[in-house]
Amino acid sequence: MRNYDLVVIGAGPAGMAAATTAASQGLNVALIDEQRQAGGQIYRNIGTPVLSDERVLGPDYYYGRELARKFSEANVDYLSNATVWEVSDSHLCLSIDGESRRIGFTRVLIATGAQERPVPFPGWTTPGVMTCGAAQIMLKTSGLAPNGPLVIAGSGPLLLLVACQLSRAGIEIAALLDTTPKHNYRAALKHLPGALRGWRYLLKGTRLIAELRRKGVKPLNGVSQLNAVTDEDGNLTGVCFRHNGTEQTVACSSLLVHQGVVPNVQLTRSLGAEHSWDELQQCWRPTLDTFGETSVPNVYVAGDNAGIGGALVAELQGQLTATRIAMQAGQLNAEAFAHMSRALQTQIEQQLAIRPFLDQLYTPAPEFLRPADETVVCRCEEVTAGEIRNLAKTGCAGPNQAKAFCRAGMGPCQGRLCGLTVSQLMAEASDRPVPEVGYYNVRSPIKPVTLAEVAGVHPASESLQADS
């Protein structure tokens, strides 16, 4: 069986940069991604952009072209449409078109990025309610945009960006409901010095807000108690909320929601790597050394699944981790590594300077972290926040025990859309810190594969090279 020196999972900025860097250092590299094209979330579909007007998505999107071009020229075995459903410290299993195979490696870099934070509120399962990220994906891959009355609700930089991109495309926004709690602004002030070091990001944010205002979209600030309104047939007809002490309803046929992004920890969790609770970002992240190695030797992480830093940080982290791996593989001497890594680390620090300010400012309102009792938190099994609270109050130890009692987290999404909420609700109800309550045990396969497919993984298909 032929082993790769390095297998990278995820072709976003982190994965593309890592694979390109490692290959340039002479490593034998494969990169695997479940999308059709390299690009990740930010540069999705960058190989064949759909929209004829490039102003809609803006230059930050098309910046990805150069990254993707360099990656396509690198000496890397690239597998697209390939979903990794299991990984260990020496091999992984992936599925392409309903067939699985196994690939061996000396080292693996998990660069699977982020997902949007679950936004539980009454009515969030109604067809017509989607995430801002989902709308952006449709824009990037299909050139599709909401048609008819549109409301955008939530908090965070991506919310403003998507609102701007849609309005540039000529889409009317009936209301932009900003749920950022008012006290966040004061709390964020203590991080202002860092924010000023990251002034480029600040400027981008204020420009987005100014652009929206010019287009006549004035955000309603301090919105709370979001509620999707439906007719008797269950169709979305509007959104109800509180603003300045009064209850209001705005009619809409599309409601886009967003409360920031959180690391995708499915693969690192399934490996049993150590994770810690990030209080400021209100999410879990894998415990890493300075260069991205997890608590499991030879397993590395770079990009937004290491903790949210954004696309430019992801790219730099990909380079840094690949450089480290090249040194460990004996392709780079210690001196060259020290020189290269220092330069990258300085850039990463500069890019991260804005984060504490943004994280504090955009901490979701408590109603989205620990929703009211009647709110469904597990969409798959339709378990409410009240049921989870009751279990915690009656002495249920943690999310894994709760799973057995109420099936939360046992549906097809494997807890991706309820895991954070369940941990937070149980912590609140039993008056314990979140890390003590813990998270679901995540086991492979992390994506549904049929038993026949699992049984069909045989050693003969152990290398990508078998086909080439």
Ligand X SMILES: Cc1cc2nc3c(=O)[nH]c(=O)nc-3n(C[C@H](O)[C@H](O)[C@H](O)COP(=O)(O)OP(=O)(O)OC[C@H]3O[C@@H](n4cnc5c(N)ncnc54)[C@H](O)[C@@H]3O)c2cc1C
Nearest distance from C-beta of residue 136 to ligand X, angstroms: 5
What whole-number distance in Å separates Cα of residue 120 and Cα of residue 243?
19
Adjacent-strand bridge partners of 150: 254
Separation of alpha carbons 224 and 34, rounded Å: 37
382 binds, among another protein, ligand X, none (CB under 5 to 8 A by kind): another protein
Binding site for ligand X (CB under 6 A): 9-15, 32-35, 40-42, 83-84, 111-116, 133, 136-137, 158, 161, 261, 303-304, 310-311, 314
Q: CB under 8 A: which stretch of 22-30, 323-331, 406-414, 428-436 binds another protein?
A: 406-414
Distance between first and last Cα of the chain = 14
Long-range contacts of 347-351 (CB under 8 A, 24+ apart): 347/316, 348/309, 348/313, 348/316, 348/317, 348/320, 350/197, 350/198, 351/198, 351/309, 351/310, 351/312, 351/313, 351/316
381 in contact with another protein (CB under 8 A): yes
CA distance 442 to 451: 18
Residues facing 103 on adjacent strands: 92
Under the binding rule (CB under 8 A), the answer on residue 412 touching another protein is: yes
Out of 193, 366, 448, 459, the residue judged to bind another protein by CB under 8 A: 448
Closer of 326 and 417 to another protein (Cβ): 417
Q: Which of 83, 317, 351, 423 is close enough to bind another protein by CB under 8 A? A: 83
Q: Which residue, 100 or 115, has its beta carbon nearer to another protein?
A: 115
Binder of residue 22, out of ligand X, another protein, none (CB less than 5 to 8 A by kind): none
Out of 21, 41, 321, 360, point to the residue binding another protein (CB under 8 A).
41
Tokens of 72: 């396509």
The 4-33 contact track toward another protein, x by CB under 8 A, reads ------------------------------
Residue ranges in 161-180 that form contacts with another protein under rule CB under 8 A: 169-170
Concatenated DSSP letters of 251-288: E-SEEEEEE-EEE--HHHHHTT--EEEETTTTEEEE--
Q: Verify binding: residue 148, another protein, rule CB under 8 A.
A: yes
Closer CB to ligand X, 77 or 304, in the complex:
304
Q: What residues between 205 and 234 interact with another protein by CB under 8 A?
A: 234
CA distance 180 to 359: 11
Contact 91, 102 (CB under 8 A): yes
For residue 157, the number of C-alpha atoms closer than 13 Å in the C-beta half-sphere is: 19
Give 172-212 as a DSSP string: --SEEEE---HHHHHHHHTTHHHHHHTHHHHHHHHHHHHHH
The answer for 343, left when phi > 0, alpha when psi is -120 to 50, beta otherwise, is alpha
- Is the Cβ of residue 241 or residue 362 nearer to ligand X in the bound state? 362
Cα–Cα distance list, 139 to 37, 127, 134, 149, 151 (Å): 16, 19, 9, 17, 17
Contacting residues for 344 by C-beta, under 8 A, at least 6 apart: 316, 319, 320, 323
Residue 266 near residue 416, CB atoms below 8 Å: yes
311 binds, among another protein, ligand X, none (CB under 5 to 8 A by kind): ligand X
Nearest distance, CB of residue 38 and ligand X, angstroms:
7
Choice between 197 and 204, CB closer to ligand X: 204
Candidate list 379, 384, 406, 424; residue touching another protein; CB under 8 A = 379
Parallel/antiparallel/unpaired status of strands 299-301 and 99-110: parallel
Strand 91-96 versus strand 99-110 pairing type: antiparallel
Site string for another protein, 253-292 (x = CB under 8 A): xx--------------------------------------
* Cβ closest to ligand X, residue 65 vs residue 432: 65
The interface region with another protein, picked from 213-221, 301-309, 367-375, 405-413 by CB under 8 A, is 405-413
When the beta carbons of 31 and 195 are compared against another protein, the nearer one is 31
Of 7-15, 49-57, 191-199, 329-337, which segment contacts another protein by CB under 8 A? 49-57
**Taking the complex as a whole, how short is the minimal distance between the CB of residue 258 and another protein, in angstroms?**
11
Give 238 or 303: the residue with its C-beta nearer to ligand X.
Answer: 303
Q: Of ligand X, another protein, none, which one does residue 52 interact with (CB within 5 to 8 Å by kind)? A: another protein
In the complex, the smallest distance separating the C-beta of residue 33 from ligand X, rounded to whole angstroms, is 5
Residue 322 or 408 with smaller CB distance to another protein: 408
Please, what is the minimum distance in Å from the beta carbon of residue 299 to another protein? 22
Q: How far is the CB of 440 from ligand X (least distance, A)?
A: 17
Give the integer Cα–Cα distance in Å for 44 and 366: 31
Residues lying near another protein in the complex (CB under 8 A): 34, 36, 41, 45, 48-53, 56, 81, 83, 98, 115-116, 125-131, 133-134, 137-139, 141-148, 169-170, 234, 253-254, 379-382, 411-413, 416-417, 447-448
